[in-house]
Amino acid sequence: MSIKSIVEQRLSTAMIGLGLPTNTSPLVRPSVRPEYGDYQANGVMRAAKLAGENPKSLAEKILAAADLSDLVDFAEVAGPGFINLHLKKVFIAKKLSENDVKKIFKREPKIVVIDYSGPNLAKEMHVGHLRSTIIGDCIARVHEHLGNEVIRQNHMGDWGTQFGMLIAELECHMSSGETAELVLNDLEKFYQRAKARFDSESDFANKARKYVVRLQSGDQHCLRLWRHFIAISVQHNLSIYHRLNVSLKKDHIKAESSYNNKLEELVSRLSLSGIAIDDQGAKVIFLDDLSDKNGQASAMIIRKSDGGYLYATTDLAALEHRAKILRANQILYFIDARQALHMKQVFSAGRLAGLVSDEVSLEHHPFGTMMGKDGKPFKTRTGSTVKLENLIDESIQRAADLVKRKNSNLGENEILEIAKKVGIGAIKYADLSKHRLTDYIFNWDAMLSLNGNTGPYLQYAYTRICSIFKRAEVEMTECSAVVIINNTEEKTLCLKILQFNEVLEQVAEDSLPHLLCSYLHELASAFMSFYEKCPILKSTVLGETHQSRLTLCSKTGETIATGLELLGIEVTEKM
Ligand code: ARG
C-alpha cells in the first residue's frame, strides 16, 4: 500500500470511530511545503461542516483518536483544520526497502478501452495526429502498468467520399502499368494530385463520384482498388508508430469501415424504438439534454436523405461494440477539442438508445493545438502541414548534433542509436509535459535543452546514474540493501521515489500525462541534491551507508526508466 493510502486509512478509521459520516475522506496529499510536514490531510474542514462541528477541535479529536505512532514523529493541527504529518525516517526507509518500482498494488482490474490516434488514411500522417497518438499511448501504458486490461482501438478514417477520387486516380496510374506501391510512395502528393484533378476535370470528378457509390454498394473492382490503397496507407502509419515508439500495432486497428455492415441494422433499430425520427427524409436523433439557450434540442443526423451514413453513425456503432462486445468499464477518447460537440452527442445518444449502460464511464479527453513560433497552428515555412515523417527525421538529426557536441568519443552508429531515443523523446516529452488542455508552442531549442523539464534532461540524469554503477562495478538491478536515512536529502529522495505509484493513479484518474513529467523532473532534481550532498563512491563512505546510497541510486534509476517508458520514451546508458 502507498504511504498516502496507509495514512488515509488510519485517519479514516479514527474518523469513523468518532461517528463521522463514512463518505467523508481525510483527503491526504503530499504537503506543498516542507514546513507543513510530508503529508497533509485536507478533508477535516468538510467533515466538520457535514457534522456541524468546529473544524479545529474536530481535527484535534481525530489526531487524538488516530493510531499513527509507528508512522509519524509528530502530527499537528494547522490553520483552520489541516492536519500536518511529519513521517518517521525509519518508516520511510522501511517502505522504500520493500518498494518494487515494477510492482503495483493489487486492486480490482477494469477493462479500459482507449480510442486514440485514429488518422484519416486518405492522407499522410501529420503533426495534427501527434497529440492524440502520444497522449493516448501514454495513458494506455499507465493503465496497463496499474493492472487494468487495456484495449486499444485505432478508429482509422478509411471510408468516405474522398476515397472515390483516390481510387479513380489510382486506377489511372495502374492501368498504365505503374505499381501501386510506387504511385503511393508519397501519399500526400498523390492526394493533392487527385484533388487537383477532381476540382478541374469534370470527367474525372464524375467518375470519382460514381466510384464512391460503387464502393459503397460493394462493387468488386472498386473494393479491390480501395483495399490496395488502404493497405499501403496503413503500412505507412504503422511505420510511423514504430519510429515514434508508440505501442499501436496492426491488431489495434478497428477502422471506420469495419462497422459498415452494422449501420443499417443499427439505424432501423433506433427508428423502431422511436429514438431516431424522420426529418425531411433523413434520420435524426434529437437530444434534449444538449438543447441550446432557446430550448432547441441538439440534432444528430444518423442517416442522410440520400441513404448515406455519417461519422456519427459509425461512432454509435463503435460505442455499442466497445460496451457490449469488448465489455468496457471505461471508454476514453483522445480526440481534438474541436470534436467536443460530436462526442457529447454520441455519448448522449448512446445512453438514450441503451447502446451503453450507465455504469460505463464515457470520457472525451480533448487537447489543445500545437502552435508555431508565430502563435498559429504549426506549419512548414511554405505554409503546408508538417508531415510526421519529416518531423521525426529532423528531431533525430538535431539530437545527433547534440550528442556529438556532448560526447565526441562515440562512434557514428552509437550516435545514431542514441539520437533516435533522444530526438523522439524530446518531441514526446515536450508535448506530454504541457497540460493536455492548453495550446503550446513547438520549439526545437527548448525541447532539446539539457536543462529544465525536458526529455533529454531526464535521459541525461539516467545516464549519470548508470555511470555511478559502472564506476562501482555493480549492476543497477542488483542493489537492494537496507536503506538508511541520515539527512534531509536522503529523506526527500526516498519519499519522492515512493510517490511514483500515487502519481500514476492520479495520471490515470485525470488522463493527465504532465503530472508524470513534473514528478519525474522533481525526482531527478531530488536526486541531484542528494548526489551533491551525499558521497557514494568515496573511500570514506563505508559499509551500510555505501550500500544504502547505491540502493537509492538504483531505485531512482529504475523509477526514471519506468516513468519514461510509461511516457513512451526510451533510456540510454550513454549520452
Ligand atoms: N479520424 C478522426 C479524425 O481524424 C479521429 C477519430 C477519433 N475517434 C473516434 N471514435 N471518432 O478526426
The residue behind cell 496492426 is 250
DSSP notation for 431-497: HHTS-TTS-EE--HHHHT-SSSSSHHHHHHHHHHHHHHHHHHT--GGG--PPP---SHHHHHHHHHH
Long-range contacts of 173-176 (CB under 8 A, 24+ apart): 174/225
Spacing, Cα 374 to ligand 1 middle (Å): 27
- pLDDT at res. 384: 85
Q: How far is CA 176 from CA 183, 190, 382, in A?
A: 11, 16, 33
Ligand 1 centre from 255 Cα, in Å?
Answer: 10
| C-alpha cell of residue 552 | 537509492
> Looking at ligand 1, which atom is closest to the CA of residue 311?
11
Please identify which residue in the block is written with the cell numbers 510509461.
Answer: 566
Residue 206 to residues 212, 213, 310, Cα–Cα distance (Å): 10, 11, 22
**Do 575 and 528 meet the contact criterion of CB atoms below 8 Å apart?**
no
Q: Which residues line ligand 1 (CB under 6 A)?
A: 115, 118, 120, 155, 157, 315, 318, 333, 335
What's the rounded Cα separation, in Å, for the pair 153 and 149? 13
Q: Are 549 and 468 in contact (CB under 8 A)?
A: no
CB-based burial, 436-452: b 16+ in 10 Å, e otherwise: beeebebeeeebbbeee
529 CA to centre of ligand 1 in angstroms: 45
Rounded to the nearest angstrom, the distance between the alpha carbon of 22 and the centre of ligand 1 is: 42
Q: Chain centroid to CA 525: how far?
A: 24
Ligand 1 center–CA 318 separation, angstroms: 11
CA distance 232 to 181: 7
What's the confidence (pLDDT) of residue 186?
Answer: 86
CA-based nearest residue to 237, from 350, 417, 117? 117
* Ligand 1 centroid from CA 99, angstroms: 40
Cell 519525474 maps to which residue? 520
Q: Which residue has the cell 460530436?
A: 342
- Residue with C-alpha cell 551525499? 534
Closest CA to 266 of 201, 196, 314: 314
Shortest-distance Cα residue to atom 8 of ligand 1:
155
- β-pair type (28-30, 39-41): antiparallel
Determine which residue's CA is closest to atom 5 belonging to ligand 1: 118
Q: How confident is the model at residue 106, as a pLDDT?
A: 64
pLDDT in tens, 141-199: 999 999 999 999 999 999 999 999 999 999 999 888 888 888 888 888 899 999 999 99
Cell of 201: 476535370
* Buried/exposed 218-247: b ≥16 CB within 10 Å, e otherwise: eeeebeebbebbbebbbebbbebbebbbbb
- Cβ neighbours for 556, distance < 8 A, ≥ 6 positions apart: 465, 493, 497, 523, 527
The DSSP secondary structure of 167-184, one letter per residue, reads HHHHHHHHHTT--HHHHT
How far the first Cα of the chain sits from its last, in Å, is: 36
Residue 182: burial class (beta carbons within 10 Å; 0-12, 13-18, 19+) = exposed
CA angle 427, 429, 430 (to 5 degrees): 65
pTM of the entire predicted model? 0.95
Q: What residue owns the CA closest to ligand 1's atom 2?
A: 118
- Phi then psi for 423, rounded to 5 degrees? -65, -50
Dist. CA 333 → ligand 1 center (Å): 9
pLDDT at 297: 95
Please tell me whether residue 256 adopts helix, strand or coil conformation: helix
The burial of 217, by beta-carbon neighbours within 10 Å (0-12 exposed, 13-18 middle, 19 or more buried), is given as exposed
Measured in angstroms, how far is the CA atom of residue 126 from the centroid of ligand 1? 14
> What's residue 72's pLDDT?
96
Class of residue 261 by CB neighbours under 10 A (exposed 0-12, middle 13-18, buried 19+): exposed
Contacts for 396 with CB less than 8 Å, ≥ 6 apart: 416, 419, 420, 423, 424
Burial class (CB in 10 A: 0-12, 13-18, 19+), 181: exposed
For residue 387, the SS3 value is strand
What pLDDT does 105 receive? 65
Residue nearest ligand 1's atom 6 by CA? 118
Identify which of 153, 163, 320, 339 to mutate to test ligand 1's pocket (most ligand atoms within 8 A of the CB). 339
Of 253, 332, 335, 345, which is best to mutate to test ligand 1, by the most ligand atoms within 8 angstroms of its C-beta? 335
Per the document, the length of the chain is 575
Query: Residue ranges of the chain with pLDDT lower than 70?
Result: 105-106
Q: Within its chain, how far is the Cα of 574 from the centroid? A: 27
Q: Is the dihedral of CA 177, 180, 181, 185 positive or negative?
A: positive
CA distance 480 to 457: 26
Atom of ligand 1 minimally distant from the CA of 339? 12
Task: For each of the domains in the chain, give its residue range(s) and CATH number, in order of start.
Answer: 3-87 (3.30.1360.70), 162-252 (no CATH), 255-367 (3.40.50.620)
User: Rg (Cα) of the chain, in Å, rounded?
Assistant: 28
How buried is 64 (Cβ within 10 angstroms: 0-12 exposed, 13-18 middle, 19+ buried)?
exposed
